[in-house]
Chain A
Amino acid sequence: MRRVYVAGVGLTRVGRHFDKGLLELAAEAAFKAIDEVQLKPEAVIVANMLSSTLQEQDNLGSYIAGGLGLSGTQAFKVEAGDGSGGAALLAAYSLIASGTVSSVLVVGVEKMTDYPTSTVYKASSQVLDAEYELYYGATMASLHAMMMRRYMEKYEVPRDLVSEWPVLMHENGAQNPFAQIRRRISKDDVARSQIISDPITLMDSSPLGDGAAALLLVSDDEASRVQSKPPVELVGVVSASDNVEFTARSELASIPAAREAAKKLQERFGVKAGEVDVVELHDSYTIAGLLLLEELGIADRGTAPRLLSEGRFRAGDRPAINLSGGLKSRGHPLGATGVYQAAEVVMQLRGDFPGLRQEGAETGIAVSMSGVGAFVSVALFRRV
């Protein structure tokens, strides 16, 4: 197995880019990543969820590669719902580690703001079971709401304590220039904001936004040829799937795939999620962030909100969680989100993240998830 390094990263600020389509968004992030080392990648992997539904554009690999002036490369799209970014990293890592290619450009891109919210909610809820959940009008929010209600009842956690999560996310994201919502909020703001799917409020939910993020990955041979040696290694990517239907889960307030992915991380790399310096994880809704902390073994069951209220997981603590502001504040452009998380972890390790920093960070993980946990991946990065 060849080692894999990150030669370049690029981000677009998440937001409502009415003047930009998929290609323009992708170009902004991809050109930044490529220009760090001026290297034409051998392959392009596009992470995206809804181009087929919202942009009526398939063949996305060729569409993006061609549009970026990279036709001739091996190009395709990877889709794993809103965990597509993590799945694309797994594919890219495998292509290089196996010796199939020496460089891969991973571009995550999603365009969500051209349509009314109800249209986008319906489309993004396609990660659920089409015949037995989506058919009945269930959404990402309503399933997360059932997890949240169950969690609050099971562990007797009051609304106020749960609100610790979005408050911290906005505190972190306020300093991230790439974040969609850069303002602080209070626990009162969370409780009083519009109800999306009771008990989930607007401030428990990630915003809808367009975005693109890119990572240029290279093999060790290629790394020695580029001008400046890449300082961060992608050590590996593990992932686990779970049944798409929510009803297969024995406990509603759980994400079994996250537990499984954390187990694989430890078995393959001897690393516990709680022992790294920085973590970017998938908080599409408040409850997802809290449950991931617990399922990954970073917090004990039912304790994540209390630990947050005691000041844990901020910059300087180990691990520091979502210094980007997470999906809540940075934003959640579905298929692109996992690539954002990876780029943010890489910048933390390089020491050039333009927001809140974890000083001296040496290891970090990016945790991508789809739906209510049908797919979870963990990408492990290390400063070399």
Chain B
Amino acid sequence: MSMSPARLWRNRIPRYRIVGIRCEDCGRAHYPPRPACPYCGSRNVKTEEMPKRGKVLSFSITYSVPEGFRARSPLVIATVELENGVKVVAPLTDVDPSQVSTGMPVEAVIRRIRESGRYGLIGYGLSFRPLRFGS
């Protein structure tokens, strides 16, 4: 992916704060934000900050990583169901891949996700880590 400052800037709020949408007509919430509700088609949607905790619904441990991710292999990508039922696809972090299981409680953190070359832009984003007792 070729990163540009404007492109990273434009998505900073939804990406760093998990801001999605809630449909004022059908009441369902969705992430990432879209101009219309993916469930009922209504344009009557409002942005809404999503909860930061949830559980792992499913996950994959990727060894055959795409270009730019070799240093992070194996990459654990999960579908997390947040406390309000909204689903998010993001990497898991601070965890041994062999310790990941479905149903595992997790919380959102910001992590460095990608770089464009050694001296280029750094892309940050969402990751989830296991929810530890007391955290």
Contact = CB atoms under 8 A, between A and B. Distances in A.
Contacts of B122: none
B59 interface: yes
Contacts of A141: 60, 62, 64
A323 B125 CA distance: 44
Contact of A132 (B59, B72, B74, B89): B89
Contact of B63 (A130, A143, A195): A195
B38 A137 contact: no
Interface in A142-182: 142-143, 145-147, 149-150, 153
Interface string B77-112: 111000000111111000000000010000000000
Contacts of B60: 141-143, 145-146, 149, 197-200
A356 interface: no
A129 interface: yes
Contacts of B125: 135-136
Contacts of A247: 30-32, 79, 86-89
Nearest to B30: A248
A118 interface: yes
B30 A137 contact: no
Contacts of B63: 194-198
B90 to A, nearest CB: 6
A347 to B, nearest CB: 33
A310 interface: no
A243 B35 CA distance: 13
Contacts of B11: 131
B114 A137 contact: yes
A122 B67 contact: yes
Contacts of A149: 58-60, 102
Q: Specify which of A122, A142, A150 lies most central, judged by the most chain B CB atoms within 10 Å of its CB.
A: A142
Given A132-B89, A243-B38, A147 B58 contact: yes
B79 to A, nearest CB: 5
Interface string B7-50: 00001000100000000000000111000001100000000000
A133 B1 CA distance: 12
A134 B102 contact: no
Contacts of A249: 87
Contacts of A196: 62-64
Contacts of A243: 38
A189 interface: no
25 contacts: A121-B65, A121-B67, A122-B66, A131-B32, A132-B15, A135-B1, A135-B114, A135-B125, A137-B68, A137-B114, A139-B64, A143-B77, A146-B58, A146-B77, A146-B79, A149-B59, A150-B57, A153-B102, A194-B63, A197-B62, A198-B63, A245-B32, A247-B79, A247-B89, A249-B87
